[in-house]
Amino acid sequence: MAHFFNEPSRTFNEYLLVPGYSSKDCRLENVNLTTPIVKFKKGEEPAIKARIPLVSAVMQAVSDDKMAVALAKEGGISFIYGSQPIETQAEMVRKVKSYKAGFVTSDSNLRPDQTMADVMELKKRKGHSTVAITDDGTSDGKILGIVTGRDYRPSRMAPETPISEFMTPFEELVYAEEGVTLSEANDILWAHKLNALPIIDKNQRLTHFVFRKDYDNHKSNPNELLDQHKRYVVGAGINSRDYEERVPALVDAGVDVMCIDSSEGFTEWQSETIAWVRKNYGDDVKIGAGNVVDRDGFLFLAEAGADFVKIGIGGGSICITREQKGIGRGQASAVIEVAAARDEYFKKTGVYVPICSDGGIVYDYHMTLALAMGADFIMLGRYFARFDESPTARLVVNGNYVKEYWGEGSNRARNWQRYDMGGDSKMKFEEGVDSYVPYAGPLRENVQLSLNKVKATMCNCGFLDLASLREGAKLTLVSATSIVEGGAHDVILKDSSQNSMR
């Protein structure tokens, strides 16, 4: 007879944390969110720790090199998507590892024969005011000039006006030569009262920009996540098909940690992938696995040698696996059971295998719940897809700014390897959708706001670090009535548009 679980499959929305005693030390600035990313033995330190418990999902619409740099600055890790050619994924990893703090590769570039209309469209899409004008319109082309917001006035110029007529030409630019230090570049910025300083090589090709605004940003990044060589930490997704070619390329590019990206991780395919990595690289190469939703799945991957285990099937906002296949589990139930299995495994073996909650996060407070239920860190897709740093286009839909967001199980992603069960190299049916998410602005401000909520909740509960939260948190199930009680009720809400006019 089939096995039936006694408890319903529960989501984060069905729980609340019960506050506890808060001492005078329970202040946001005292909360430590450092968390292990890879396994370690009792009494030892993990080889990789994050300063915040957030990582970005292995998704085309979320994690590229730009996202990786932005998140590493805040203390988290991006897992660059693997549903792309090996060479391009390795190049993204290489860009992150070679990124020089304060030196920014231009992603807003045009040719001098293009028009002001092109400038306006690019500014709308990228959100940047500084546009590099190069001979071929690429970020590393021969620089011919720069356009800033001070160079044109849309109300007084025809859209078809060529850029060559209003750009600041190269001959009039203040620039620095390749090899300049960040300190020297900032001195030039301040001496000439510039907002942006182009860095040029000996062939007059643009290599980077240094921006005045980044000076303060760099000084205010105390949580930067760096490796032993002072390079940003970056992860990457792999699959159980081409790992023999992909893993060496990523290791050569300098990747810090990898993750087998699959909708279901309790498989022989994943154990074989991990075994191959261990045979060829030992424990030096770090590799997580998943996804699983119960004790058996965790123990299988832990014993196979995974450095961390990812939890969640069907809980993502763009995932329709449960609808299509009827498999999965409420994310809260999955995290609670797997966390218990992790603790059991730790007591038995002395090896702590971190767990990552992947999916099911709708509100910021769900992050705290996931951590209190036992997750060491949280993987987020929709959350990060909303930000400037995600690789998708910013669009206007029905008068609102949005960003595109699609699942790795959608036909658009063409990521058949993620759902492969052997056989033909193609997707049999979709397990993800193509969608939009509301545009939310820069990553930094949003992440800091979310984590301040996490810290505030931890203080309310009397905990100053994540291990204490996992050990001592008190959680309660909520009824449908108490969920209603938790929001604004029995009042007439003021119109926000009227409030903004007062």
Between strands 168-169 and 143-147, the pairing is: antiparallel
Q: For residue 396, what are the CA distances in angstroms to 114, 165, 317, 403?
A: 23, 30, 21, 9
* Beta-carbon count within 10 A of 268 CB: 11
Q: Which of 329, 418, 444, 470 is catalytic?
A: 418
Residues 132, 109 contacting (CB under 8 angstroms)? yes
DSSP run (H or E) holding 250: helix 243-253
Distance (Å, whole) CA 232 – CA 240: 26
**Look-up: residue for tokens 């609340």?**
16
Q: Assess whether 418 carries a catalytic annotation.
A: yes
Cis omega (within 30 of 0) on the bond before 291? yes
CA dist 132 and 367 (Å) reads 40
Which one of the listed residues 26, 319, 459, 461 is annotated catalytic? 319
Instruction: Write out the two tokens for 493.
Output: 């809400």
Residue 433 in contact with residue 439, Cβ under 8 Å? no
Q: Within its chain, how far is the Cα of 405 from the centroid?
A: 13
**Of 160, 76, 170, which is closest to residue 113 (Cα–Cα)?**
160
The DSSP line for 77-139 is EEEE--SS-HHHHHHHHHHHHHPPTT-B----EE-TTSBHHHHHHHHHHH--S-EEEESSSST
Q: How far is CA 270 from the centre of its chain?
A: 23
Return all residues near 87 (Cβ < 8 A) that are at least 6 apart. 249
> What is the DSSP annotation of 225-242?
-B-TTS-B--EEEE-SSS
As annotated, the active-site residues are: 319, 418
